[in-house]
């Protein structure tokens, strides 16, 4: 891959750029390929693999897959095949509550759109790692469950489910996590994507339910930048997306207190997650996707 092509692909780590696409499969593929373009080596090779056999090179495949040492010995093009020693079993939990349908800037994606695009990228990445991936969507209740599978056809089912998914109900992250924990059988990696706008104790109880059942847990805490700093210079009308309640205020009047409370909330979640060996990753919707993708690959490398 040329440096110019790699630079073009890395554009698709930008949430605003990806959001201009309509097809979820294309979004997922370009997010992942853009991520790979920024790595020194592909994450699709080298995790808990051992050599299996050679097969003839098929014209049109990337030349990088050719074993040039074998070519030097035989004057024929061969590709090495590898056999996975272990396979990860992942479950993606996507929050579809109404609070996720928020953006503090008309030019920025909503939390729900960001989480959906990231979920698509994670599914694409893990299946190409030959890992099994499932999907659970929820609001105050479980909305849809796709059990984990590793076949390529399953990726299309996941992406179609994401395209059809819309934010809707009230938030009840804690209860939804408990229900999901009872439905996910075999131990594996559970990845939660949510704004976590629920009682922190109830959220943590739900996450600990997964840990009690032997799962590894990663939490991607997704917020809009405006929710972190309330950077508004004029009077605004604040509206609760779930209850419809609203309040007019001067943001400068409450900005300091709100910022301190949000920071304390995030620090508290991070501390409790660390205590219970839950990996916690705060994200805002203006962040490139590679932060989350790298974290998953790091985890895959550790447990593979």
Provide the token pair at 230. Answer: 């309330």
* Statement: residue 211 has pLDDT above 70: yes
- For residues 212 and 256, membership in a common domain is answered with yes
Percentage of the chain beyond pLDDT 90 is 50
Q: For residue 34, which of 124, 164, 131 has the smallest C-alpha distance?
A: 124
Half-sphere exposure of 158 (CA within 13 A, CB side): 33
Residues 11-28: pLDDT tens digits?
899 999 999 988 899 999
Quick one: 225 and 103 in the same domain? yes
pTM of the model: 0.79
pLDDT-wise least confident of 22-36, 72-86, 149-163, 270-284 = 72-86
Question: Is 173 in a helix, a strand, or coil?
Answer: helix
> Is the Cα torsion angle 119, 122, 124, 130 positive or negative in sign?
negative
Query: What is the tally of structural domains in the chain?
Result: 2
Q: What is the pLDDT of residue 130?
A: 80
Residue 96 has pLDDT above 50, yes or no: yes
pLDDT of residue 47: 42
Same domain? For 64 and 208 the reply is no
Are 71 and 212 contained in the same domain? no
For residue 99, what are the domain limits? 89-303
CATH number of the domain bearing residue 179: 3.40.50.410
Determine contact, residues 12/33, Cβ cutoff 8 Å: yes
- The answer, yes or no, to whether residue 304 has pLDDT greater than 70, is no
Confidence of residue 131 (pLDDT cuts 50, 70, 90): confident
244 pLDDT band (50/70/90 cuts)?
A: low
Same domain for 184 and 124:
yes
Q: Cα(65)–Cα(208) distance, rounded to whole angstroms?
A: 43
Residues 69 and 159 in one domain: no
Q: Tens digits of per-residue pLDDT, 112-125?
A: 999 999 999 999 99
- Report residue 87: phi and psi, to 5°: -125, 135
User: In this structure, are 80 and 94 located in the same domain?
Assistant: no
Q: Which residue, 65, 84, 103, sits at the end of a domain?
A: 84
Is residue 36 scored above 60 in pLDDT? yes
Q: Name which of 300, 289, 304 is nearest 35 in CA terms.
A: 289
| pLDDT confidence tier of residue 251, bands split at 50, 70 and 90 | low
Backbone angles phi, psi at 270, to 5 degrees: -60, -45
Do 173 and 279 share a domain, yes or no? yes
Average pLDDT, the chain: 83
């Amino acid at each position: 891959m040329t440096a110019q092509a790699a630079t073009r692909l890395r554009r698709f780590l930008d949430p605003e750029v990806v959001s201009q696409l309509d097809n979820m499969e294309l979004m997922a593929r370009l997010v992942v390929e853009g991520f790979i373009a920024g790595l020194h080596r592909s994450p699709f090779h080298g995790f808990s693999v051992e050599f299996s056999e050679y097969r003839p090179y098929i014209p049109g495949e990337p030349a990088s897959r050719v074993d040039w040492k074998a070519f030097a010995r035989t004057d024929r093009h061969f590709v090495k095949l590898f056999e996975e020693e272990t396979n990860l079993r992942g479950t993606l939990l996507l929050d579809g509550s109404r609070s996720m349908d928020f953006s503090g800037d008309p030019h920025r994606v909503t939390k729900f759109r960001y989480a959906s695009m990231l979920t698509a990228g994670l599914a694409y990445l893990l299946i190409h790692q030959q890992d099994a991936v499932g999907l659970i969507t929820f609001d105050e209740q479980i909305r849809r469950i796709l059990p984990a599978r590793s076949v390529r056809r399953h990726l299309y089912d996941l992406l179609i489910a994401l395209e059809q998914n819309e934010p809707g109900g009230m938030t009840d992250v804690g209860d939804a996590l408990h229900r999901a924990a009872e439905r996910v059988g075999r131990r594996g990696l559970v990845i939660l994507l949510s704004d976590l706008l629920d009682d922190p104790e109830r959220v943590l109880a739900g996450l600990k339910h997964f840990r009690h059942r032997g799962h590894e847990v990663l939490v991607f805490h997704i917020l809009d930048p405006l929710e972190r700093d309330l950077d508004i210079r004029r009077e605004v009308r604040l509206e609760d997306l779930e209850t419809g309640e609203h309040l007019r205020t001067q943001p400068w009047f409450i900005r300091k207190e709100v910022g301190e409370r949000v920071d304390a909330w995030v620090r508290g979640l991070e501390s409790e997650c660390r205590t219970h060996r839950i990996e916690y990753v705060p994200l805002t919707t203006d962040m490139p996707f590679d932060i989350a993708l790298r974290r998953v690959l790091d985890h895959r490398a550790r447990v593979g």
